[in-house]
Amino acid sequence: MKKTSFGYRAWFQPMVGAVSSHPNAVVKHPDCNFAAEECSRGLNDVSISADVITLDIDASLPAEGYKIAANGGSINITGSCANGILYGVYAFLAKIRMGEDASSINISDAPAVKMRILNHWDNGDGSVERGYAGRSLLWRDGKLGYDPERLKDYARLLASVGINQISVNNVNVRPLTARLLTDAGLADLVEVAAIFRPFGIRLIISVHFDSPCWIGGLQTSDPASPDVEKFWADAAARVYKAVPDLAGFLVKADSEFNLGPLAFGHTQDVGANVIARALQPFGGTVYWRCFIYNCLQDWRDTKTDRPKAAYDTFFPIDGKFEQNVVLQIKHGPSDFQVREPNSPLLGATKNTRQAIEFQVTQEYTGQQKDMYNWAVQWEEVFDMPFNETRSTRDLVGANKEVEAVVGVNNTGDDENWCGHLMAQANLYAFGRLAWDPALTAAAITREWTALTFGTNPAVFNPIVDMMLASRLTYEKYNAPLGICWMVYPHHHYGPSVDGYEYTKWGTYHRADHVAIGVDRTSRGTGYVDQYQPHLRNIYANIETCPEEMLLYFHRLPYDYKLKSGKTLLQHIYDTHFEGVEEVRAFIKTWESLENLLPPDAYAQVRKRFDLQLENAREWRDIINTYFYRKTGTPDEKGRKIYK
Amino acid sequence: MKKTSFGYRAWFQPMVGAVSSHPNAVVKHPDCNFAAEECSRGLNDVSISADVITLDIDASLPAEGYKIAANGGSINITGSCANGILYGVYAFLAKIRMGEDASSINISDAPAVKMRILNHWDNGDGSVERGYAGRSLLWRDGKLGYDPERLKDYARLLASVGINQISVNNVNVRPLTARLLTDAGLADLVEVAAIFRPFGIRLIISVHFDSPCWIGGLQTSDPASPDVEKFWADAAARVYKAVPDLAGFLVKADSEFNLGPLAFGHTQDVGANVIARALQPFGGTVYWRCFIYNCLQDWRDTKTDRPKAAYDTFFPIDGKFEQNVVLQIKHGPSDFQVREPNSPLLGATKNTRQAIEFQVTQEYTGQQKDMYNWAVQWEEVFDMPFNETRSTRDLVGANKEVEAVVGVNNTGDDENWCGHLMAQANLYAFGRLAWDPALTAAAITREWTALTFGTNPAVFNPIVDMMLASRLTYEKYNAPLGICWMVYPHHHYGPSVDGYEYTKWGTYHRADHVAIGVDRTSRGTGYVDQYQPHLRNIYANIETCPEEMLLYFHRLPYDYKLKSGKTLLQHIYDTHFEGVEEVRAFIKTWESLENLLPPDAYAQVRKRFDLQLENAREWRDIINTYFYRKTGTPDEKGRKIYK
């Protein structure tokens, strides 16, 4: 582990090492002390023209906001609170790092979203579910265990992009991490909280719904039981005594073999509320995940349609939740696929609070072997209409339907945090978009590239172009036109066209020799009717349905003509051939930068590209062969399709 | 664990518990002492008419043979040696248990095969690779660890069917079991050997080819290195000092990521011989597995054909092996599939010794959830022609091409040893067929059924019928016509038609919308040319190729007409519908026996049948739907095929 390596330093780690010899900032309010230290550390390896930097608090600024006012040799940074001033300092440092003249920085900003949350899917044994960047930064050998210096660097990395809450353990809670609710587990948690606290990051604990039995020794976890009510109240009191500023509990109930209120004949609100009441005295929040569906479906059953499940479960109980419950909703109705529509549940519960959940880790999108810039897809998510007048972006923010933005971590103890150096861009983009959903993917990618690789156009421009292209390139060689799930079961890397086709997971493309897809209109499963009427009509009509999502909503014959004039089959062939060529072009671009990049950074990414090319070829050839074998229709351009 | 339960007692466990009060046998030779004890124990719960039983040794009898001569109240059992007399006693006890009158038993017998071997695929951590009967009987917590009383009962179970060698650890040797070559591991092995020794069972150790590095601290395991030669010599001396009657070493080299001589540029003989020379001073044998193939094949490569690999590897080096090397060859060229031809390597090496390897465990044949009587398939294996004049059976025996019969264990610490009560029949049949390959499946099944369930025709007949039918029933709902491998990767239970289709494992059916199969004739991969000319011609000609193996050798269109007049596709539909109905019929039969069977035995099997029916339904519907989707051709009889 080289803590001074390019990968470790990431976009904001000139701050590794000693505090600067630059004169300390002038601190005008004690809440600025930590920010001042960070400012000094951040100026360690740069020289600026300013004579004096003054840090102060101005409570009239918007929540967690800041203002930077430079005037020649004097720079004043003001924050609304300790978090605000810290974000101000980080913004100031970032601007300098991006080449701006310190003496002319005049900006003010504040987060649009109050809760900007990273969920760790880290297990007690040190593994990370869907983690592709090594082992956990937080856990080892069955308990919280870490390198304290590294954890501090990690906290800085998260705070520098505005993340202000993290859950510390996997939503799939197992006995090892369930111990967090006990005195033994809490003793460790106190120390972790102390590391993150100065960075303005509050902790969340993932709790298992069966904790009353697991931890409390009860015979039931029925949320209607007074004993269970008492268990949660006691647990909350115990936890908040140890960590008074804990943000709350995160719960995955009735989902993928985790127990939930359904087992006791209750709707989700009954389960969420018993925990919510326990947290109310302490100001804690219950994040209640909505990823609920039948994971034991019979593939023969064509009536049940998994994407319908979340809306069907939660919409009818809108308004029944306690005020400190937030429904945590995956952005799409499937599961972080390369292309899917937004969840119709988003924005639908007018009397229940919501969070939108993204995946920063690349479970289905290349697993940090393939380059994939999530920012582009997230921008598309926010761009999608909610109704005639509002986009999904318009739902997100303080006092709006979606109050929190959540991401699943892509980090681990690999030297460069994220496995793939370029995957750091996803962590960066997540924080920035959670702060301001109006930021474009292009703007964020330019920021990250400048901070990471500098602003030399010979390096900067090709990297930005490549990053912005990477999402569509990956989609081209992946499952076509929103069909989803043509992936290897379990590990979810690489193509297996029928891999999920006859399983219990509710994910079917039902391809035969003439057609593919599931009709989700009113004539079919009726899923489309869960959307607001405006959007429902767009998706239900094959003429207006965005082509890239055609197969999410419609069953179509292979000779269906797309707007390009190509048949659906030829489109599949074309995109899959193109996808591989685009990866080859990435490699060529990267190789052209060899002498302009730090050798370790160059080599790390170069190796990943070999894996990506191999993966792209597998996808291209398996998808093309699969459809060729099914249809007997050759590629119009006569390219090689294996028989 | 109830050691007196029906399942634990199996076919030969009246011998659990106290020694009989029946007068001890008269022992005329000290080598009969142990057999006499077993005899007395075996008469514990039966009464016989004999007044006196005399046990003696007659060295002029065939090796390990025995003779039972009853004359009214006097019974004389003679054996060629300690093993012979023990087998004589077990045979005598079995006859009585099957209802014969003790006073009129007059038989003599001797094993046709000298080496009758059970391979344990047991791992040091207590797991069993491809084990479906609980945890290991031999290993736990990283070392040899067991219930000594149970292990003695296990030894008796094996000896009662004539097994005289067992390997104690998985051929996929991992560091935990590699310790067997060290003093620490050997100390434990001495005790295990002492338990099996009185039962005439000698031990084999599976060793890793990289042991010189793993254990010896060398920098290479190159078999041409003098240091490596010395390592193996020292290891052999150490092992044989501890266990002087060890049968030998078993090696899986150059196979599925295990290191072998190929890594050092040598052919297999160079690798086997260095170990063989080490064992020669002690009379030990090297069992060298021939399961060598490219497990990183590109599915696009249609020239490489995995079934060719073993013959291609070993035939050219026939005669180069030391005399104490035995090539251990899986009976089929694939991997214990429900239907495959015999390996063309069997009998082909006229100057190299051979063993035939069967799988007693049901990796691809129902995993002891589904009922599957291997004896029927093994009889087919032995029936297959080798050339114009000899069957495969004719190759097997002392002084013939195939000197040893090996089986992979289906046992574990489940109360009934085998997971499925009816799977006990496979362990029984393996021992009996290794003893005498001329026995028919029907004869063996009748023996096992009588020993296990008694001879009441109301029970005996339906069970025998069901057992004999079970192999074809399973095949009916499995992969059709010898195509193999339509199974879920990794765990190998349940259907996944394309599961292996695009993988690196070299196992492809290449089904498209008009045809399925790989042409393995001279026009195709040429695999068929590895057979002796007589058999090659049979398989190469589509008219003479046995229909049940058609798709192993030929690529055929779905409308190909079978001799029945049915198309290939309709045959697939028909057999898959029939398979499920036959399972239903088994269940009906079993239920009709409820009042005639011990309740625990009835219930255990009844539960397994539910699993089998579910599995059969999955196979039926997934296979039928797969081909329906591919072809669009409906079932002629209009039965339900899901779309």
Tens digits of residue pLDDT in A567-582: 999 999 999 999 999 9
The answer to whether residue A49 scores a pLDDT higher than 80 is no
Shortest CA gap B388–chain A (Å): 37
DSSP string, A103-148: GG-EEEE--S-SEEEEE--B-TTS-BTT--SSS-SSEETTEE---H
When pLDDT is cut at 50, 70 and 90, the band that residue B622 belongs to is: very high
The answer to whether residue B155 scores a pLDDT higher than 90 is yes
How far is residue B32's CA from residue B196's CA, in Å, rounded to a whole number?
16
What's the whole-model pTM score?
Answer: 0.94
At B19 the pLDDT is: 55
Q: Considering only A91-100, B56-65, B273-282, B619-628, which range has the smallest mean pLDDT? A: A91-100
Query: Would you call B611 exposed, middle or buried from its count of C-beta atoms within 10 A (0-12, 13-18, 19+)?
Result: middle
| A624, A629, A630, A631: best to mutate for the B interface, most B CBs within 10 A | A629
Nearest CA in chain B to A614: B298
At B23 the pLDDT is: 61
At B14 the pLDDT is: 64
CA B547 to chain centre: 25
At A15 the pLDDT is: 66
Chain B hits for A497, Cβ within 8 Å: 498
| Alpha helices, DSSP H, located in B33-81 | 33-42
Return the exposure string of B408-445: e unless at least 16 CB atoms fall within 10 Å of the residue's CB, then b. bbbbbbbbbbbbbbbbbbbbbbbbbbbbbbebebeebb
Shortest CA gap A312–chain B (Å): 26
At B435 the pLDDT is: 98
- Positions of B marked active-site: 256, 335, 363
Is A513–B512 a contact, with Cβ atoms under 8 angstroms apart?
no
The answer to whether residue B243 scores a pLDDT higher than 90 is yes
Is A502–B510 a contact, with Cβ atoms under 8 angstroms apart?
no
At B15 the pLDDT is: 66
How far is residue A92's CA from residue A86's CA, in Å, rounded to a whole number?
10
Shortest CA gap A542–chain B (Å): 23
Average pLDDT over residues B420-437: 98
User: Using CB atoms, which residue from A300, A496, A497 is nearest to B642?
Assistant: A300
Strands (E), A260-307: 285-289
At A19 the pLDDT is: 55
Shortest CA gap B620–chain A (Å): 12
CA A521 to chain centre: 29
Is residue A151 a contact partner of residue A138, using CB atoms and an 8 Å limit? yes
When pLDDT is cut at 50, 70 and 90, the band that residue A21 belongs to is: low
- Positions of A marked active-site: 256, 335, 363
Using alpha carbons, list the distances in angstroms from residue B527 to A503, B344, B390, B500.
35, 9, 21, 20
- Mean pLDDT of all residues belonging to chain A: 96
Residue A121: CB partners within 8 Å, gap ≥ 6? Answer: A128, A129, A130, A131, A170, A171, A172, A361, A408, A409
Tens digits of residue pLDDT in A212-229: 999 999 999 999 999 999
Is A497–B498 a contact, with Cβ atoms under 8 angstroms apart?
yes
End-to-end CA distance of chain A: 47
Is A512–B629 a contact, with Cβ atoms under 8 angstroms apart?
yes
Number of other residues whose CB lies within 10 A of the CB of residue A28: 14
Is residue B33 a contact partner of residue B475, using CB atoms and an 8 Å limit? no
Taking the Cβ of residue A616 and every Cβ of chain B, the question of whether any pair is shorter than 8 Å is answered with no
How far is residue A343's CA from residue A353's CA, in Å, rounded to a whole number?
15
At A22 the pLDDT is: 60
Chain B hits for A628, Cβ within 8 Å: 512
At A41 the pLDDT is: 87
At B497 the pLDDT is: 97
Angle (nearest 5°) at CA B526 between B523 and B530: 145
At B25 the pLDDT is: 80
Nearest CA in chain B to A502: B622
How far is residue B159's CA from residue B170's CA, in Å, rounded to a whole number?
21
Is B628–A497 a contact, with Cβ atoms under 8 angstroms apart?
no
Phi, psi of B69 (to 5 degrees): -125, 110
Taking the Cβ of residue A498 and every Cβ of chain B, the question of whether any pair is shorter than 8 Å is answered with yes
When pLDDT is cut at 50, 70 and 90, the band that residue B42 belongs to is: confident
By C-alpha distance, which of B515, B626, B499 is closest to B573?
Answer: B626
How far is residue A235's CA from residue A239's CA, in Å, rounded to a whole number?
6
How far is residue A581's CA from residue A588's CA, in Å, rounded to a whole number?
10
Angle between helices A424-435 and A374-383 (to 10 degrees): 30
CA B608 to chain centre: 21
The answer to whether residue A339 scores a pLDDT higher than 80 is yes
SS3 state of residue B185: helix
Is B496–A514 a contact, with Cβ atoms under 8 angstroms apart?
no
By C-alpha distance, which of A113, A73, A74, A70 is closest to A92?
Answer: A70
Is A513–B625 a contact, with Cβ atoms under 8 angstroms apart?
no
Nearest CA in chain B to A515: B629
Chain A hits for B642, Cβ within 8 Å: 299-300
Is residue A105 a contact partner of residue A75, using CB atoms and an 8 Å limit? yes
Is residue B181 a contact partner of residue B238, using CB atoms and an 8 Å limit? yes
Residue A119: CB partners within 8 Å, gap ≥ 6? Answer: A166, A167, A171, A204, A206, A250, A357, A406, A407, A408, A409
Is residue B246 a contact partner of residue B205, using CB atoms and an 8 Å limit? yes
Angle between helices A374-383 and A441-453 (to 10 degrees): 160
Tens digits of residue pLDDT in B3-28: 889 999 999 876 655 555 566 688 99
Chain B hits for A632, Cβ within 8 Å: 512-514
At A45 the pLDDT is: 72
Angle between helices A82-97 and A148-159 (to 10 degrees): 80
| A498, A624, A640: best to mutate for the B interface, most B CBs within 10 A | A498
Is A513–B630 a contact, with Cβ atoms under 8 angstroms apart?
yes
Is residue A113 a contact partner of residue A397, using CB atoms and an 8 Å limit? yes
Average pLDDT over residues B196-210: 98
| Alpha helices, DSSP H, located in A135-225 | 148-159, 175-178, 183-196, 211-214
At A18 the pLDDT is: 53
When pLDDT is cut at 50, 70 and 90, the band that residue A72 belongs to is: confident
Tens digits of residue pLDDT in B170-181: 999 999 999 999
Taking the Cβ of residue A514 and every Cβ of chain B, the question of whether any pair is shorter than 8 Å is answered with yes
User: Using CB atoms, which residue from B499, B512, B621 is nearest to A300?
Assistant: B621
How far is residue A38's CA from residue B185's CA, in Å, rounded to a whole number?
57
Residue A90: CB partners within 8 Å, gap ≥ 6? Answer: A12, A38, A42, A159, A160
End-to-end CA distance of chain B: 47
When pLDDT is cut at 50, 70 and 90, the band that residue B45 belongs to is: confident
The answer to whether residue B597 scores a pLDDT higher than 90 is yes
Is B502–A496 a contact, with Cβ atoms under 8 angstroms apart?
yes
The answer to whether residue A372 scores a pLDDT higher than 90 is yes
At A638 the pLDDT is: 98
Is residue B259 a contact partner of residue B267, using CB atoms and an 8 Å limit? no
Torsion of CA B156, B157, B162, B165, to 10 degrees: -80
Taking the Cβ of residue A640 and every Cβ of chain B, the question of whether any pair is shorter than 8 Å is answered with no
Between B56 and B13, the more confident residue is B56
Chain A hits for B628, Cβ within 8 Å: 512
